[in-house]
């Protein structure tokens, strides 16, 4: 019997979290943090072991499948597996969580509870990507909400209660749509209910049912992605979170929404997606422009980076709605790329705040004279975020643009208008990021700030965390196939499924601005 890599990666950190209350500790958290770091690193090695020993990128279907019957009469089973949609995100989750454990080194307030929640989140987030049963997905989705709520409510800033409450209301409320749609899909057509993805894919859902289910799931996942106007919880959450929580929110939590859109809305409801896809493209453009303009106007450092994240996730929506293997692959790469870049930026925000004790850009200035290493790290990460060639963000955004513009599913006029509007956001990104750098590090040093703070340069631990994130950012930027090859087959099969559905349900009208006859589904370049 093969080793259960995925089950081990899910259950090990959760089981390890239950041990934390029994670890003898003097109250300073020294033993607990080393223990948590060891657990997260072991979990990362388990996911890497699963990838190396049981995952073949050339296979489009499920791999590393583990299934144990739970309640057969209700169609419930412990079912996990990985394909091209989930495996890269499983690796991303375990990687960023291990770095978040290292980023949490300064945490001394209730360290046992903090690391307990961190490890529980690790298992829950891996489960979201690995489970192949919609009821298990809902349970895993809910499992990670409570740790995030407590991490915000206990270790957050001055308005932490407000931010945490807003987060739980938005995310838990939207989760009801997942439960309702999941039950409707399981019982659809009569007979024994089934929640497994493979069984749901085989069901012949009516177009009307798919439209209602798609709309419900779009709201649920749109909150998590987030999609404007369901985004307002994110700037508040980021505005009050600590550095490790920032990394988990930006690096992993937002990607859960993008993954779920691909897994459920596109894969299980292809005919619904065929009709909703133009709306996704429009919402993606709105995300890019609105969030970029809002970020430009922000004077709070955390909120500025938070709105930048929302803007970047707009490219994910455009890629998902492109009906192109290249565009969808770009959306997948954008999720991975932003996970790494967002985690690095928010970690630096936390490190800068620890030194300056302010988040207001008006109160900063000239700190680069005292923190040259920190300035260098900030500069590199900002260049990555504004999609500098040679960085992962450039490749992913270029793939989305190219995939959408060359897509044969939309009319030329629609593609030109949407691409031109999205380009406005791309132009704004370097403006607000570079102006932010100037305000923080350049110019005359703020005398008042320097008088009551000791501006210490980046520590080896901080340099190590950012360097670990920059290595894959640059690596993917220079050689994208190191990542795109891991999900090529799955993406091409997914796009083939949605283009088939498009040809079946859409009857293009002469002179239509949105649709035109679909010819072939282009494959990814070799």
Q: How confident is the model at residue 472 (pLDDT cuts 50, 70, 90)?
A: very high
Mean pLDDT of the chain: 88
Nearest Cα residue to 97 out of 136, 63, 123, 65: 123
Q: Give the pLDDT score at 290.
A: 94
pLDDT tens for each residue of 86-111: 999 999 999 999 999 999 988 888 88
Q: Average pLDDT in the 125-135 region?
A: 93
Residue 445 lies in a domain: yes
> What stretch of H or E contains 400?
helix 392-405
Residue 22 lies in a domain: yes
Structure tokens belonging to residue 161 = 């209660």
* Bridge partners, residue 68, by sequence: 78
Residue 17 lies in a domain: yes
CB atoms within 10 A of CB 191: 8
Residue 83 lies in a domain: yes
Q: How far apart are CA 185 and CA 171, in angstroms?
A: 21
pLDDT tens for each residue of 412-470: 999 999 999 999 888 898 988 998 888 888 877 777 776 666 778 888 999 999 999 99
Residue 414 lies in a domain: yes
Q: Give the pLDDT score at 510.
A: 56
Residue 526 lies in a domain: no
User: Sign (positive/negative) of CA torsion 503, 504, 509, 514?
Assistant: negative
Q: DSSP string of 165-212?
A: HHHHHHHHHHHHHHHHHHHHHHHTTSSS---BHHHHHHS---HHHHHH
* Bridge partners, residue 127, by sequence: none
Q: Give the pLDDT score at 86.
A: 94
Query: Is 171's pLDDT higher than 60?
Result: yes
For the entire predicted model, the pTM comes to: 0.93
Residue 358 lies in a domain: yes
Q: Average pLDDT in the 26-38 region?
A: 86
Q: How confident is the model at residue 525 (pLDDT cuts 50, 70, 90)?
A: low
Residue 523 lies in a domain: no
End-to-end CA distance of the chain: 35
Q: How confident is the model at residue 75 (pLDDT cuts 50, 70, 90)?
A: low
Percent of the chain scoring above 70 in pLDDT? 94
Cis amide linkage into residue 226, ω under 30° from 0: yes
Tell me how far the alpha carbon of residue 305 is from its chain's centroid: 15
Q: Give the pLDDT score at 326.
A: 94
Q: Could you list the residue range(s) of the whole structural domain that residue 103 is in?
A: 5-505
- Provide the number of structural domains found in the chain: 1
Q: How confident is the model at residue 246 (pLDDT cuts 50, 70, 90)?
A: confident
pLDDT tens for each residue of 311-336: 999 999 999 999 999 999 999 999 99
Q: How confident is the model at residue 520 (pLDDT cuts 50, 70, 90)?
A: very low
Q: How confident is the model at residue 15 (pLDDT cuts 50, 70, 90)?
A: very high
Q: What is the 3-state secondary structure (H, E, C) of 108-131?
A: CCCHHHHHHHHHHHHHHHHHHHHE
pLDDT tens for each residue of 484-510: 999 999 999 999 998 888 888 766 555
Q: How far apart are CA 62 and CA 68, in angstroms?
A: 16
């Amino acid at each position: 019997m093969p080793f259960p890599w995925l089950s081990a990666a899910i259950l090990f950190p959760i089981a390890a979290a239950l041990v934390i209350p029994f670890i003898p500790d003097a109250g300073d958290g020294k033993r607990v943090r080393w223990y948590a770091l060891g657990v997260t690193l072991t979990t990362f090695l388990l996911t890497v072991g699963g990838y190396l020993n049981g995952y073949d990128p050339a296979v489009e279907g499920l791999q590393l499948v583990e299934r144990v019957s739970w309640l057969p009469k209700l169609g419930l089973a412990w079912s996990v597996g990985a394909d091209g949609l989930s495996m890269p995100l499983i690796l991303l989750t375990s990687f960023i969580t291990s770095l978040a454990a290292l980023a949490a080194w300064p945490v001394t307030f209730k360290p046992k509870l903090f690391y307990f929640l961190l490890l529980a989140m690790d298992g829950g987030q891996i489960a979201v990507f690995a489970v192949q049963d919609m009821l298990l997905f809902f349970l895993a989705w809910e499992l990670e909400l409570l740790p995030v709520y407590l991490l915000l409510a206990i270790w957050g800033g001055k308005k932490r209660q407000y931010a945490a409450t807003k987060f739980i209301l938005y995310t838990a409320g939207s989760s009801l749509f997942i439960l309702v749609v999941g039950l409707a899909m399981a019982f659809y057509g009569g007979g024994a209910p089934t929640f497994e993805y493979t069984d749901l894919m085989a069901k012949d859902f009516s177009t009307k049912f798919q439209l209602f289910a798609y709309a419900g799931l779009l709201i649920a996942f749109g909150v998590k992605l987030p999609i404007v106007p369901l985004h307002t919880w994110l700037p508040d959450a980021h505005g009050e979170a600590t550095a490790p929580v920032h990394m988990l929110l930006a690096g992993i939590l937002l990607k859960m929404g993008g993954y779920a859109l691909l897994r459920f809305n596109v894969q299980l409801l292809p005919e619904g997606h065929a009709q909703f896809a133009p709306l996704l493209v429009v919402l993606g453009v709105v995300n890019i422009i609105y969030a970029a303009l809002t970020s430009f106007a922000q004077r709070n450092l955390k909120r500025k980076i938070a709105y930048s994240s929302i803007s970047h996730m707009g490219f994910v929506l455009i890629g998902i709605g492109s009906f192109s293997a290249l565009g969808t692959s770009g959306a997948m790469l954008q999720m991975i790329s932003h996970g790494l870049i967002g985690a690095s930026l928010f970690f630096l925000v936390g490190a800068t705040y620890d030194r300056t004790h302010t988040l207001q850009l008006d109160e900063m200035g000239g700190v680069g004279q005292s923190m040259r290493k920190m300035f260098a790290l900030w500069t590199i990460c900002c260049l990555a975020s504004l999609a500098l060639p040679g960085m992962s963000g450039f490749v992913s955004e270029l793939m989305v643009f190219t995939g959408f513009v060359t897509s044969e599913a939309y009319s030329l006029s629609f593609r030109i208008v949407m691409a031109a509007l999205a380009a406005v956001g791309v132009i704004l990104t370097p403006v607000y990021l570079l102006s932010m750098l100037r305000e923080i590090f350049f110019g005359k040093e703020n005398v008042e700030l320097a008088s009551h703070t000791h501006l210490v340069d980046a520590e080896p631990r901080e340099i190590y965390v950012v360097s670990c994130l920059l290595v894959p950012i640059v690596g993917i930027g220079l050689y994208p196939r190191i990542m795109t090859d891991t999900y090529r087959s799955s993406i091409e099969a997914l796009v083939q499924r949605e283009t088939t559905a498009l040809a079946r349900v859409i009857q293009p009208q002469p002179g239509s601005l949105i649709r035109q006859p679909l010819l072939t589904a282009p494959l990814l370049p070799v």
